[in-house]
Structure 1
């Protein structure tokens, strides 16, 4: 019988005799994208998704100090929300939250837009003055609130001193139910104007100067140029400015708590301060109702965010 031999193929070699390496498989672009998204996803899950889940869980259970530590709070469903809606503080806190947010947004945007248009003229001291206007935004909130508390003090405040100099009697800015909400609104407007100034000024920088030159040649005055060019072209920037301002103002707590603590007689209580009072401001904290009030703020911010996304999508399609 003839013996059959099997020939083993020899590896391919280069011209110099070296064996070439096997070609590497290219990395999938999808895996690379997931690798870049992984840190952001982990951050959002740890610092946003999980706290939100815990807050929702708090609002659906009857937590006491003991059950909070042991983790055996009974499930109560929407009982905490019904308790919040039936509380006599709910209606005043809702009204104060709406007034505080609405007035602050209107004045912060109007003053910020006026200053942005003013500094857009690029005069000699424009950069220096613009930097000085950023000081309220850079200061810690506790410093700003403490400064306004001193300025609005009924006995030794500089505001009442100025009023006395012009023949007006003193005003109990922080201790009168009629003035406490106005006081915290004034302080918050002062703090929020620089943010609107910076964002709106950057939006003005993107408007071509040729449009203003053409309008000036056509005989348009400054007011007509503002309403025909500046305001319409600034609308996308204005929308995101108002949305961010709304979300920030809804959750303002530091200014109100330091200046008035929501008083006197709940005259400056908002949902943010009420949530803190329920959860941490009593000897017997009501964690469930406090979390429920906080969730109402989250829902309000989410609703306005979805409205913004829907409006932007319609504008993009049109």
Structure 2
């Protein structure tokens, strides 16, 4: 009897479940999707993030879309719409497709500027990381006046970029600069730091290293302090030399931090417009001009070529995106999560 009752009850339950499923299939209440659940459960977070999304879309998204569109036209100062007094002159530029990109990539100027930009970026980032790591390891030790040294070494990062550029431009002055004054005091001749292509390149690299080392130092110092001291103690007990401890403990322990700061440093240095523009103006001639300064010059000097400048900007963006993707893939192959 119990078995029969159980079967009847089970059958009734199955029929009820089937009827409920049928009702849902015919337009009954459905289970909310993941996006709807997230918005209903975390509506406050979405409300807080919404203004940031809107501002970012307005300040970054719209100029980016506009720039990509202009890069596909022949817009120049002569063909752009403008208002002179009460007269409104309409735009006369036309869509030309990828013509600007073809002109840029087939010109020797692009490859010349790209080569110097790569040299500039690699040299600066390598010096940033090497000097920053050395200073971080020094400050990670017990040292008298360590707080004072930290404050002193972080000052270049705290100084605004344009202020640093003007200070160094004065230091490099051929006639009144402090550097040449020190050389003359030592019995050596003055150097025209910003007058020769080679010395001008060395000069801007030195300034960028001076500005960028504090960031690397602070980031790597934080990474060093996160490595357990017990690892170094155990390695020292086992007889590991300082170089072996550095190679097998410090470098692997800093791998995650290093991958992040190297990527950020590469992007920032690749686009380091203020220092080069304010110190050398891209000169002498165009010896120190990198891709971003050339793009600026296309848009704001001479006959302003807005479409060409926009195409340069899009190419720079694509180069950085490709570099970041390749870098990310290389990290994944090494087992890093990024």
TM-score range, shorter chain: 0.7 to 0.9
Matched, 1:213 2:240: no
Whether the 8 Å CA contact 1:200–1:238 is kept in 2: the answer is: yes
Deviations 1:76-98 (A, max 9, x none): 11111122234442232112111
Match of 1:39 among 41, 51, 73: 51
Partner of 2:185: 165
The structural deviation recorded for 1:311 is 3.7
The structural deviation recorded for 1:313 is 4.0
Matched, 1:57 2:69: yes
Whether the 8 Å CA contact 2:256–2:336 is kept in 1: the answer is: no
Partner of 1:178: 198
Match of 1:285 among 304, 321, 337: 304
Name structure 2 gaps, 5 residues minimum. 1-37, 82-89
Whether the 8 Å CA contact 1:243–1:304 is kept in 2: the answer is: no
Go from structure 1 to structure 2 and tell me whether the alpha carbon gap of 1:156 and 1:102 turns closer, same or farther (over 3 Å shift): same
Partner of 2:253: 233
CA distance in 2 between counterparts of 1:104 and 1:234 reads 20
Deviations 1:129-171 (A, max 9, x none): 1111111111111110111111111112122222233343222
Give 3-state SS (helix, strand or coil) of 1:262's partner: coil
Deviates further, 74-83 or 304-313: 304-313
The structural deviation recorded for 1:41 is 2.5
Name structure 1 gaps, 5 residues minimum. 1-25
Match of 1:103 among 106, 111, 123: 123
Aligned residues: 292
Whether the 8 Å CA contact 1:92–1:269 is kept in 2: the answer is: no
CA distance in 1 between counterparts of 2:77 and 2:331 reads 45
CA distance in 1 between counterparts of 2:242 and 2:146 reads 19
CA distance in 2 between counterparts of 1:265 and 1:87 reads 18
The structural deviation recorded for 1:65 is 2.6
Partner of 1:255: 275
Go from structure 1 to structure 2 and tell me whether the alpha carbon gap of 1:74 and 1:216 turns closer, same or farther (over 3 Å shift): same
Whether the 8 Å CA contact 1:262–1:270 is kept in 2: the answer is: yes
TM-score by length of 2: 0.81
Give 3-state SS (helix, strand or coil) of 2:80's partner: helix
Partner of 1:244: 264
TM-score by length of 1: 0.85
Deviations 1:55-76 (A, max 9, x none): 1112111112354334552111
Match of 2:93 among 67, 70, 73: 73
Please report the RMSD computed on the Cα atoms of aligned residues, expressed in angstroms. 2.1
